[in-house]
Amino acid sequence: MRRVPHPTDGRTTLVEITDLGRSTVEDATATLNQEVFSQVGMDDDEMASMVKAIQSLRRNSGDFSDGQS
């Protein structure tokens, strides 16, 4: 992460993610997906029900306003 001055507002400082920060996030995401989320202790039917419920929650919250479902 690095701090940079706002281009038009001298009172403000912006934070930008660096290449190292982006790489760290990508590595952490891959590790979490592989080591934590790959085996959650649910069978296929339970997983499908959970995905359907989350999709419904997100749709009703406006997350899919661009036509996704």
pLDDT tens string 14-61: 999 999 999 999 999 999 999 988 888 899 999 999 999 999 999 999
Is 39 within 8 Å of 47 (Cβ atoms)?
Answer: no
Query: Could you tell me the CA-to-CA distances from 45 to 26, 35, 48, 49, 55 in Å, in that order?
Result: 30, 22, 5, 6, 15
pTM: 0.50
